[in-house]
Chains A and B, each alone.
Chain A
Amino acid sequence: MNAVVEEHHDHDHKPTGMGRWLFSTNHKDIGTMYLWFSFSMFFIGGALALLIRAELFQPGMQIVEPEFFNQLTTLHGLIMVFGVIMPAFVGLANWQIPMMIGAPDMALPRMNNWSFWLLPGAFGLLIASLIMSIMGMGSAPNFGWTFYAPLSTTYGPDSTDFFIFSVHLMGISSVMGAINVIATIMNLRAPGMTYMKMPIFVWTWFITAYLLIAVMPVLAGVVTMMLTDRNFGTSFFNAAGGGDPVMFQHIFWFFGHPEVYIMILPAFGIISSIVPTFSRKPLFGYSSMVYATASIAFLSFIVWAHHMFTTGMPVAGELFFMYATMLIAIPTGVKVFNWMSTMWRGSLTFETPMLFAIAFIFLFTMGGFTGLMLCIAPADFQYHDTYFVVAHFHYVLVTGAAFSIMAAVYFWLPKWTGNMYDEKLGKLHFWLTCISANVLFFPMHFVGLAGMPRRIPDYALQFAEFNQIASVGAFVFGFSQLIFLYLVIKCVKGGEKATSEVWEGAKGLEFDLPSPAPFHSYTTPPEVK
């Protein structure tokens, strides 16, 4: 055994070896594990996406069987949503919230450990189903990430039960993470930090945590109904037994729509932290940002059926969900204009985090606009289940949520590691990522409007050119992320030392701490005026 002799300033007692990670109750170590977990899932989910794009490079069947193609789209969606975006945001919350509110750690450190370690189990189950499929032992889940019944109940492959338990575990993990965030924010704020003085990232996560607590149990409920339908003879979604498949969609989207805001509200918080720093101005309209976030969260509960316009809803229902959905553009617009006003006449500099933040504002807004097109019920009948929808949600999730995560990593990495990252490589990564993402996703708008359906391994000849362009973009995008991986490893290993402020004029309690931040953040709470 190594003698535990380390340099101690304060009481930085770090356990060593595997135990440090397995039994960790430290918010920074757990945050790091969440981020690395998310990063590794990003490469797995990305590899599946590249297989999809390789298959779609040319019309006709090229590389994979249609049955396997369906499994690829399903697993890609599930991994990216539940394995990449959500854990990355939880990782950022773990790292940043205690530092930002002047707390020593999260409020519930042991639960924190448990909520992380459920994830490898959950994704182990899910990925095991894919491995079994590759080994010829039956299909992996093949019904799309939305797992509509009866496709996933009556017609689901045996591995659907793996999927169900995997979702249960993810749900428990998310709910525990959310409880932890709320308890931390309510109980551990530094004296003087009133709710309306909290950093905006903390505010967005506070609201996101409530969304998680409200809808993850509904997801758990719907997969439980699937489980009993499949194995215990109930008929929630089986018309033969008096159930209703359309009801599945209602319950699923009652979870699913707030879920998409779970994946974007923390992103708003990140962008609202980065833009003021590199504009050297305080955030414009702080309180309107808070209220806008809260109203988006509220509205997210009453718009779910805009995913279901083509199920034969009455006109009154379509109109209600159409107008309610349009309303969301108002608070979202408030945010976008606030970011622009923050930059207005600021002393802007364009380091990598700021580049990603500006790209986010521009490209996320484009994704928002296509969302407005989709919410118009009569138009949606044409767009429904086409590549236009795929383009829309990749603009908000990749150039939106994923870009914000990359921006956050560049922004706070020097604080985490104590070393500046390689700015040249960072810029290279940004430009390759930003351009290739647009080459990848922009043509999907065109093929979608022209009628190419989503989740199909083969397509009509006239879509070939746009699909080829998209596939080229996909491979550039995918391999560009290796630069990101290299850059992060390089920064962890060493580099130019970062100051405690890291960025000129950066505001916030986390920038009062030295870089790298000490193992326990604020052992004595700072006074906030």
Chain B
Amino acid sequence: MTVQNSNNQLNDNPKIIGKLLVLVVIMFGFGFALVPLYDVFCDVTGLNGKTGDKVSFKTAPVVDESRIIKVTFLANLNESMPWQFKPQQSFIEVHPGKPTTINYIAKNTSSKSIIGQAVPSVSPGLAAAYFQKTECFCFTQQKLKAGEEKLMPVTFIVDNKLPEGMSEIALSYTFFTSKQNQDLSEAVTEHLSTNKSLTLSLNQDHKL
């Protein structure tokens, strides 16, 4: 009885190991599955301040003239981005439902052409779902030749369903160097050497 017991059960080992190894592989995959799941979750819930894609309206939305929303514009550059980048105006006051266009200005201060990609973010995060862009330089990659300066327009509508408590929204763009750039490393090296003066001039611009 006793001997039979342990011998029989030893034969179960491969089965258990097999099942547990499958579990290990599944959990390893689950770790990677969290990456797309995370994006889907943020999309569905509107968390993370990520704004949606291009929006188009068949009929013009109703303008709610009773409310005024202050939209503040911010501009950031990723550390390896040798551009100057700023909004033409630091804020605007709009009525919900009214399409509004403002401009950012970007200038390539390096000696190479560089492709950039702007990533928008809205704060407070829950306002992102009500901030709709009909036109934006962030929908496509932007290429600037050495020394080129360009107006970057964005047209947006603040949804009139914006919750009552919200009266201010901040829209921030960060320009990243696109992965399509090839000769970027040299440009960046060059940029880094002029980095100090660039930061200084940017700061002065902000004061203005």
Chain A residues close to B by CB (< 8 Å): 103-104, 107-108, 175, 178-179, 182-183, 186-188, 191, 213-222, 225, 233, 236, 239-242, 244, 246-247, 250-251, 254-255, 312-314, 317, 524-525, 527
Contact = CB atoms under 8 A, between A and B. Distances in A.
A188 B27 contact: no
A524 B3 CA distance: 7
Given A213-B27, A215-B27, A524-B3, A182 B20 contact: yes
A525 B28 contact: no
Contact of A187 (B13, B30, B34): B13
Given A250-B38, A524-B2, A524-B3, A239 B16 contact: no
Contacts, number: 104
Interface in B1-42: 1-3, 5-6, 9-10, 12-13, 16-17, 20-21, 23-25, 27-32, 34-35, 38
Interface residues of B, number: 37
A218 B30 contact: yes
Contacts of A103: 6
Contact of B10 (A107, A191, A251, A524): A107
A241 B23 contact: no
Given A218-B27, A240-B78, A244-B38, A179 B21 contact: yes
A311 B9 CA distance: 50
18 contacts: A103-B6, A108-B17, A175-B24, A179-B20, A179-B21, A183-B17, A188-B10, A191-B1, A191-B5, A214-B23, A214-B27, A215-B27, A218-B30, A219-B31, A221-B31, A314-B125, A314-B126, A524-B2
A198 to B, nearest CB: 15
B174 interface: yes
A242 B30 CA distance: 20
Given A187-B9, A233-B179, 11 more contacts: A179-B16, A182-B16, A183-B17, A191-B2, A218-B34, A220-B31, A239-B176, A250-B38, A251-B34, A314-B126, A525-B2
B198 interface: no
Given A179-B21, A244-B38, A187 B28 contact: no
B27 A217 contact: yes
A178 B21 CA distance: 11
Nearest to A314: B47
A489 B17 CA distance: 37
Nearest to B174: A239
B6 A525 contact: yes
A218 B2 CA distance: 40
B132 interface: no
Contacts of A178: 20
A187 B3 CA distance: 13
A188 B16 CA distance: 13
Contacts of A186: 12, 16
B52 to A, nearest CB: 16
Interface in B40-78: 45, 47-48, 78
A217 B35 contact: no
Contacts of A314: 45, 47, 125-126
Contacts of A313: 47
Interface in B95-112: none
A179 B18 CA distance: 10
A107 B13 contact: yes
Nearest to A180: B17
The A contact surface, by secondary structure, is: helix
A349 B101 CA distance: 81
A312 B28 CA distance: 28
A213 B25 CA distance: 10
A132 B5 CA distance: 54
Given A179-B21, A182-B16, A213-B24, A188 B35 contact: no
Interface string B119-146: 1000001100000000000000000000
A426 to B, nearest CB: 37
Contacts of A218: 27-28, 30-31, 34
B84 interface: no
B16 A183 contact: yes
A317 B41 CA distance: 12
B178 to A, nearest CB: 9
A222 B48 CA distance: 21
Interface in B161-188: 174, 176-177, 179
A525 B31 CA distance: 41
**Which among B23, B31, B78, B80 has the greatest number of chain A C-beta atoms within 10 A?**
B31
Contacts of B29: 221
Nearest to A154: B79
Contacts of B16: 179, 182-183, 186-187
**Which among B6, B17, B176 has the greatest number of chain A C-beta atoms within 10 A?**
B6
Nearest to A243: B35
Contacts of B12: 186-187
B119 A221 contact: no
**Which among B12, B27, B126 has the greatest number of chain A C-beta atoms within 10 A?**
B27
Given A179-B20, A191-B2, A525-B6, A240 B176 contact: yes
Nearest to B9: A187
Contacts of A214: 23, 27
Query: Closest 10 A-B residue pairs measured CB to CB?
Result: A221-B31, A217-B28, A217-B27, A240-B176, A218-B31, A187-B9, A179-B20, A183-B16, A525-B2, A247-B38
A314 to B, nearest CB: 6
A254 B20 contact: no
A109 to B, nearest CB: 11
Nearest to B27: A217
A232 B60 CA distance: 47
A377 B10 CA distance: 50
A366 B25 CA distance: 38
B20 to A, nearest CB: 5
B81 to A, nearest CB: 9
A9 B179 CA distance: 71
Contacts of B25: 217
A241 B174 CA distance: 12
A138 to B, nearest CB: 21
A434 B27 CA distance: 39
B125 A312 contact: yes
Contact of B31 (A222, A233, A240): A222
Contacts of B24: 175, 179, 213, 216-217
A175 B21 CA distance: 9
Nearest to B45: A314
A183 B23 CA distance: 14
Contact of B20 (A213, A236, A239): A213
